[in-house]
Amino acid sequence: MAPHRLYGHVAPGADYSVGHWLREVAPLLAGPERAIIVGGTGLYLTALTEGLAEIPPTPPDVRAEADGRMAAEGPALMLAEIDAETSARIDRLNPARIQRAWEVQRATGRGLAAWQDGTAAPLLPLDRAQPVVLMPDRDWLARRIDMRFDRMLQDGALDEVRRVLPTWEPAALWAKAIGAPELVAHLQGDMTIDAAREAAQAASRQYAKRQRTWFRSRMKAWRCVTLP
């Protein structure tokens, strides 16, 4: 019933990051209406309330080098080259975060952690907000995740993915959306629909697990509401 903003407004392939998002949030916070910011990406919420380092954009040649290495080697070797402080802070199970940290260090000569330590003032400090973390029962959430993906399939998710097949780029950020790679694999004949469904649901549950870890480690000052 509430009007939504910043939802479904970025075209596939468009360059977009937490910095872009903060710039789009700023005028909404300055408006007359109360903004209710929801979501589960801890990095975005932390950047909003704690600030975001102004890191120079990654040069195209560095991005291409990183993309090539990630495709050929996976994240382990890149992680080993990141400075110890950054390695201790980032999500070591998230290849995109590992690549981002490697790119920053490769392009600037400084670790991502060093850039973060020079962070500017936050757009929305915690003392000007009502920060709440909802922590539902894990088993209940797992069931809800599975039900939601089943509902997405019923509502046409497969047709939506089929429409992007002509421009599908497995390495692109937009192609990392949970469920998309699995449904593409099905449409390309590499996976049954049941296997794709189960893999997508498992990936979503793993994402929820990473969310809980971020909430516990990086959002301790937020009010935690345990749901039955």
CA torsion sign for 153, 154, 157, 160 is positive
As given in the structure block, the two tokens for residue 212 are: 């809980």
Nearest to 176 by CA among 148, 153, 206, 156: 206
Chain mean position to CA 215: 14
Residue 31 CB neighbours (<10 A): 9
Which pair of tokens denotes residue 94? Answer: 């998230």
Asked if domains 60-117 and 132-226 share a fold, the reply is no
Judge whether 173 and 95 are in contact, CB under 8 Å.
Answer: no
Whole-number pLDDT of residue 56 = 86
Model pTM greater than 0.85? no
pLDDT of residue 227: 87
pLDDT tens track of the chain, all 228 residues? 888 999 889 887 788 888 899 999 999 999 888 899 998 789 899 999 999 888 888 999 999 999 999 999 999 999 999 999 999 989 888 898 999 999 999 999 999 999 988 788 899 999 999 999 999 999 999 999 999 999 999 999 999 999 999 999 998 888 889 999 999 999 999 999 999 999 999 999 999 999 999 999 889 999 999 987
Q: Where are the domains of the chain?
A: 60-117, 132-226
CATH number of 60-117: 1.10.20.140
User: What is the CATH number assigned to the segment(s) 132-226?
Assistant: 1.10.287.890
Q: What residue type is 80 in one-letter code?
A: A
* C-alpha pair distances (Å), 7 with each of 20, 24, 26: 13, 11, 15
